[in-house]
Chains A and B, each alone.
Chain A
Amino acid sequence: MAEIQQQASGGGKGGKKRAKKMSTKIDMTPMVDLAFLLLTFFMLTTTFSKPTVMQVTMPVKEKEPNKDPTVLKASDAFTVLLGENNKIYYYEGLLDATTKPELKLSSYDANGIRKTLLDRRRANPGTVVLIKPDDNSNYKNMVDILDEMNITDQKKYALVDISKADQDLIKNSGL
């Protein structure tokens, strides 16, 4: 509150009444309180950083599905299967009617799929990773494996729908 201190009017010598000299002294405490209140409020409500995003570019959908553009060599293929309960499997090569590649269980941590991917790339730099998320896997798994691609600097990878044969492979492997 602003208080006005009146100076004792010096001497009552009659005659002209002088304008009283006011010395103003404002108590700033409430204002400062308010300032800090606002400061705290804005500091807490500010959303400073925008969330980060991971860019994913999907291939253009073929209008004519019969036209098979490029055939992936089995020696270059490396398939990662994302299963339920945060399980991750992988096999090398392609799965078809004649060849049954060996399915291996891996994990999302640093010594799991990342190491395998790096080893595999060292052996064959032309590796193409096929990522097949199972319907029971969750979105986090998908983001994690896409992130692994970024971490290991894997350039060629694709998100592919899981096939019945892949699902059977998981089921029959007993892993």
Chain B
Amino acid sequence: MTPMVDLAFLLVTFFMLTTKFAPEEAVVVDTPSSTSEIRLPESHVITIAVDKDKRVFFGMDDDEIKADLLKQVGAKYGVSFTAPQVQAFRGVASSFGTPIEKLPALLNLDSEQRKSVKQEGIPSDSLNNQLIEWIVTAQSLSRKQFGKPAYIAIKGDGNADVPTVKKVISLMQDKNINRFNLITDLETKPVAGN
């Protein structure tokens, strides 16, 4: 039995070390598939999720700049956060869709309660455009911290409507961000010409 146990523990160790838990998603997004085989980079990714109810969610994965991001965006809208709230933001930042005014309330909840909250999406219209604020701040922090801007990944639901996605793209074009990555599922490439 010893060799089997050895192997089992070897595998356990391997999986323990390689596992990166899937970040909690605030929204279920069913991405369409494409034949593109480019993989999403491991880190420095800003994810903008668009779900089928036209809600827009923001997420980013770099722990180092999450606290600064929250403080800077908060300062712009006159919302301040306590230390426990900033701490809680680390878990939330991977994907959230709450206007900044309601963010402190969301951060006060514990993670179980947070899951049951229906988030309304980040405002991204011309009067109250918080989404672009998050993106621009995250980009500049990422540039300062890592020396390069973060990847912008758009994760749209297959049934999301085009105007919302186009609006998000157009907002970023206004800020001179012109390269996007659309997150898709992999599908096998058909042979062209058949």
Using a CB–CB cutoff of 8 Å, the interface residues on chain A facing chain B are: 28, 31-32, 35-36, 38-39, 42-43, 45-47, 49-61, 82, 110, 114, 118, 133-144, 146-147, 150-153, 159, 161
Contacts of A159 in B (CB 8 A): 166
Report if A53-B38 is in contact (Cβ < 8 Å); known contacts: A134-B162, A139-B156, A151-B192: yes
Q: Are A58 and B159 in contact (CB under 8 A)?
A: no
B33 partner residues in chain A, CB cutoff 8 A: 143
Interface centre among B16, B162, B178, B186, by most chain A C-beta atoms within 10 angstroms, is B162
Task: Let me know if B8 is at the binding interface, CB within 8 A.
Answer: yes
CB-CB under 8 A from B4, the residues of chain A are 32
Which B125-161 residues sit within 8 Å CB-CB of chain A?
Answer: 153, 156-161
Contact (Cβ within 8 A) B192 A139: no
CA–CA, A35 and B39, complex, Å? 32
Contact assessment for A142 and B165 in the assembled complex, using a CB-CB cutoff below 8 Å: yes
Contact call A51/B31, Cβ cutoff below 8 A? yes
Chain A interface SS verdict (over half): mixed
Inter-subunit contact A58/B5 (CB<8 Å): no
B162 and A47 within 8 A (CB): no
- The number of inter-chain residue pairs (CB within 8 angstroms) is 159
Q: For B18, list chain A residues within 8 Å (CB).
A: 46
**A104 CB, nearest partner CB in chain B, Å:** 21
Question: What are some 5 contacts across the A-B interface (CB < 8 A)?
Answer: A57-B180, A58-B169, A58-B179, A135-B161, A146-B34
B: number of interface residues (CB 8 Å): 56
B189 at the interface (CB under 8 A from A): yes
Cβ-defined contact, B12 with A35, below 8 A = yes
Q: In the complex, A43 Cα to B21 Cα: how many Å? A: 11
When distances are taken between beta carbons in the complex, the residues of chain B under 8 Å from A137 are: 161-162
Which residues of B lie under 8 Å from residue A47 when comparing CB positions?
19-22
Which A residues lie within 8 Å of B22 (CB)? 45, 47
**CA gap between A142 and B169 in the complex, in Å:** 13
